[in-house]
Amino acid sequence: MMSLLWIILPYSAFLSFAAGHVWRYRHDRFSWYITGPDVDRAQRIGAPALRIGIGMLVVVRLTDLFFTGPHNHPDGPLDIALAVIEVCALVAGSVGAVLLFVPDMIGTPARQAVTPLDRLTFPLMVAALLSWVAVKFDPNSSADANLTTETLFTWFRSLFTLHPNPEAMANAPLIYQARGLAVLSFLAIWPYTRLAGIFADPVIRFILRIRPELAASRTRLRAAGQQT
């Protein structure tokens, strides 16, 4: 069970994330419906807000991952800057997620834009947020005994070596295990939801400006998607 949860599952999530992006590119060139003419103003605002929020969170998490140890963590101006960025990222990401997902879930979109995985994405984002709060304010964790570093960071770093360390999570408190599983689930389904284009779509748009001859195939795929 330990190997299944903390070795097989994470590598499967990484594979799903990578293979899903390849499939999505071949399927519709990331021409997700949010860029269509039938999108309301709230969703047009929600997409970049979510992009900015998630982008800033990734920067903070990577900084923590590489510069934090059991008895070593960022302090001084860097710690303050990371805290400010994290708060701003959570606000932007939360507002963006609500604007992007909620209108179609409570309304009746012109076409079937919400998939079952889209409906699962929003609860997973809420679970990731709540688990972050639980881990961040865990009374059993402190600067001298940072449980996040000893469990989540140690395990995640080990996945990129030839020696995964599932014991770090197998012996972790429940809230740390729940956070790890929520993040893995989020990564696994990412390419198969409307979130697939959050970062990929701007890159594709930039490439199309450089290579305008590639725009025709994307236009055809988008037109075909709007008819289904």
Domain that holds residue 212: 2-227
CA–centroid distance for 226 within its chain: 26
Return the pLDDT at 219: 60
Count the domains in the chain: 1
Residues of 174-209 as b/e, b for ≥16 C-beta within 10 angstroms? Answer: ebbbbbbbbbbbbbbbbbbbbbbbbebbeebeeebe
The one-letter amino acid at 186: F
Residues 6+ apart with CB under 8 A from 227: none
Sign of the alpha-carbon torsion through 140, 144, 146, 147: negative
Question: Residue 45: what residue type?
Answer: I
Assign residue 98 the CATH number of its domain. Answer: 1.20.950.20
With a cut of 50, list the residues of the chain below it in pLDDT: 110-111, 226, 228
What pLDDT score does 111 carry? 47
Strands (DSSP E) contained in 78-222 are none
CA pseudo-torsion sign 54, 60, 63, 68: negative
- Is pTM beyond 0.85? Reply is no
Residues near 40 by beta carbon (within 8 Å), at least 6 away in sequence: 103
